[in-house]
Structure 1
Amino acid sequence: MNAEELLERPDTTSPEAGRVALKFFFNIMELWGCTPAQQRVLLGGIGNTTYHKYKKLPQVRLPHDTLERISYLMGIHKALRILFSNSPDKAYEWVHKANAAPPFNGQSALEYMLHGRVVDLADTRRYLDSVRG
Structure 2
Amino acid sequence: MPNAARAVKTQAKPNSRDMAAAGLRAFFNIARDWGLNTDAQMVLLGTPGRSTFFKWKSAPETADLKRDTLERLSYIMGIYKALQILLPDTTAADAWVKKPNTAPLFGGQSALDRMLGGNVADLMVVRQYLDVQRGGWA
Amino acid at match of 2:102: A
Q: Give matches, 1:1-133, under 5 Å.
A: 14-56=16-58, 57-85=60-88, 87-133=89-135
| Structure-2 separation of matches of 1:84 and 1:131 | 11
Rounded to whole Å, the distance in 2 between the matches of 1:19 and 1:80 is: 23
Kept in 2: contact 1:72–1:122 (CA 8 A) = yes
Partners of 1:12 and 1:41 lie apart in 2 by 27
SS in 2 for 1:93: helix
Per-residue CA deviations over 1:53-85 (Å, capped at 9, x if unaligned) read 111123322110000000000110110000011
Q: Which amino acid aligns with 1:28?
A: I
- Whether the 8 Å CA contact 2:24–2:56 is kept in 1: the answer is yes
Secondary structure of 2:62's aligned partner = coil
TM value normalised by structure 2:
0.84
> Is residue 42–residue 69 contact of structure 1 (8 Å, CA) maintained in 2?
yes
Partner residue, 1:8:
none
- Post-superposition Cα deviations, 1:96-121, rounded to whole Å, max 9, x if no partner, equal 00001021111100011001000000
* Counterparts of 1:84 and 1:68, CA distance in 2: 24
Q: Secondary structure at the match of 2:29?
A: helix
Write the distance in 2 (CA, Å) between the matches of 1:30 and 1:116.
19
Cα deviation digits, residues 26-64 of structure 1 (max 9, x gap)? 000000000000000000011111111111123322110
Mind listing any 5+ residue stretches in structure 1 that lack a counterpart?
1-10
Give the 4+ runs in structure 1 shifted more than 6 A.
none
Q: Name the larger-Rg structure.
A: 2
Q: Report if aligned partners of 2:56, 2:62 keep a CA contact under 8 Å in 1.
A: no
Provide the identity percentage. 48
In the TM superposition, residue 13 of structure 1 has moved relative to its aligned partner by: 5.9
